[in-house]
Amino acid sequence: MRTYPGLIACVNCDTISERPNLARGEQAACARCGSVLLRPGLDAQQLLALSVAAAILYIVANIFPVIGLSLNGAHHETTLLGSVLSMADGSAAPVAVVVALAIIVVPALQIGSLCWLLVFAQAGRRAPLFNPLMHLWEHLYPWSMVEVALLAALVSVIKMKSMMHVHIGIGMWAMAGLVMLLIGTVHRDIRSLWVEIADAAGVAS
Amino acid sequence: MSAGARAAEVGFICCRVCALVCDAGGDMAQCPRCDAEIRSRKPNSLSRTWAFLIAGLIAYIPANVLPVMHTHSLGDAHGGTDNTIMSGLIEFWHQGSWGIASLIFVASIVIPSTKIVALIALLVNAQRALPSRSAQFVRLYRMLELVGYWSMLDVLVVGLVTAVVKFRGLSDAEPRIGILYFGMVVILTMLATLSFDPRLLWDRRPGKG
């Protein structure tokens, strides 16, 4: 089968264009429908630094409480996992699976696989399990909802503050930082690794 | 720059995983670079999208009618209050938190209902060769992809509130079945959006390039 690494096809209208050579910060749009075709981002080393920072904040966000409440001297707080477990208890239980995936499992897989791929990529090497992880990446992409969870935490604070004293936990601050880092890392198109790593390693001939 | 040929017209397929363009000579092949099974179009795109959409539409009614959360505090006359999506929103409005009320209105009411209408419009447009406004419909589709998952907001709020309001007897909150249906609406419409292939909007039409 002949391949054309110099071409690119728009995912939204199927129009073929030549793959342009773009500098960082530039982007190419499809001539027919205007969708973004390419938007080169950070190089592997910079992405790796951000991904490791994201991994650390992810751990902090999951260990420490997100919200705490005080009522008549009693104190109660919850972590992200706590909110999943609370959903799992009762008639709406199946939705807990979705919540667990969206705010805990998918972000962990994304950050973990990104760190793994990039540790090798910044040394110009192809990581073990490169193919399966890149495939996994493609399926995980729509299901990460950390930014929605952050907004939900803020809404919950406002919802409860009329009735009781609410504390914002370390977990929520970590989530805020994590959302920033995810925009710079996980929300990037990392398919350029196929060109930089897989082709360079002589896989496609 | 004028638009060039479309991949399907010349027998090319673009891999959805690694974006390599190859000369497949058919509708299906295996990507030579990443081994993914590649297809010219998403398989059974229209029927899958309809199926997820109709399932979402069915869940939409209980999602909005049934209570999503039960709250109970000491001194409540009738053993607590059941909140629906709408009543939670109205509560914010009465508190004077209009910003938050509008935010929830957009995330929980406007986005899910617009998503359903927009998906129907996309499906109908892809099924018939309507006058070409495909570029606008692609923009609509990209917007659905971007905003769709924000509707999970209310589900996550219920999770957090019910997890933290646990003061035995004094004040309690529990999730109710409505939130399951609401979560299903969000997930099913997301699956419908993912199953839809926007390239179908351009097929069956003479190329304009």
Return the domain boundaries, chain A.
1-40, 42-199
Give pLDDT tens digits for B64-96. Answer: 999 999 988 776 666 788 999 999 899 889 988
Question: Which amino acid would we find at residue A38?
Answer: L
Q: Which of B142, B156, B201 sits opposite A99 (nearest CB)?
A: B156
Domains observed in chain B: 1-40 (no CATH), 43-201 (1.20.140)
DSSP A42: -
Partners of residue A4 in chain B, C-beta under 8 Å = 12, 20-23
Angle in degrees, CA A69, A75, B93, rounded to 5: 20
Cβ under 8 Å to A: B residues 106-145: 134-135, 138-139, 141-142, 145
Q: Which of A16, A35, A83 sits opposite B159 (nearest CB)?
A: A83
pLDDT of A198: 67
A21 touches chain B (CB under 8 A): no
> Average pLDDT of A157-168?
88
Give pLDDT tens digits for B54-72. Answer: 999 999 999 999 999 998 8
Q: Are strands A36-38 and A67-71 parallel, antiparallel or unpaired?
A: unpaired
- Verify whether the Cβ–Cβ distance B10 to A134 is below 8 Å: no
pLDDT of A64: 97
**Gap between the Cα atoms of B127 and B162, Å rounded:** 44
Confidence label for B209 from pLDDT (cuts 50, 70 and 90)? very low
Partners of residue B171 in chain A, C-beta under 8 Å = 71, 163-164
Give pLDDT tens digits for B35-48. Answer: 888 898 999 999 99
pLDDT of B24: 82
Contacts of residue B3, defined as CB under 8 A and 6 or more positions apart, other chains included, come to A15, A30, A31, A32, B207, B208, B209
For residue B138, report the phi and psi dihedrals to the nearest 5 degrees. -65, -40
Mutate to test the interface with A, among B155, B172, B182, B191 (most CBs of A within 10 A): B155
The answer to whether B115 and B185 have CB atoms below 8 angstroms apart is no
One-character DSSP codes across A67-82:
EEEEETTEEEEE-HHH
Give pLDDT tens digits for A93-140. Answer: 999 999 999 999 999 999 999 999 999 998 888 899 999 999 998 889
- Calculate the average pLDDT of chain B: 88
- Verify whether the Cβ–Cβ distance A76 to B100 is below 8 Å: no
A43 touches chain B (CB under 8 A): no
Confidence label for A176 from pLDDT (cuts 50, 70 and 90)? very high
Residue contacts between A and B (CB atoms, under 8 Å): 239
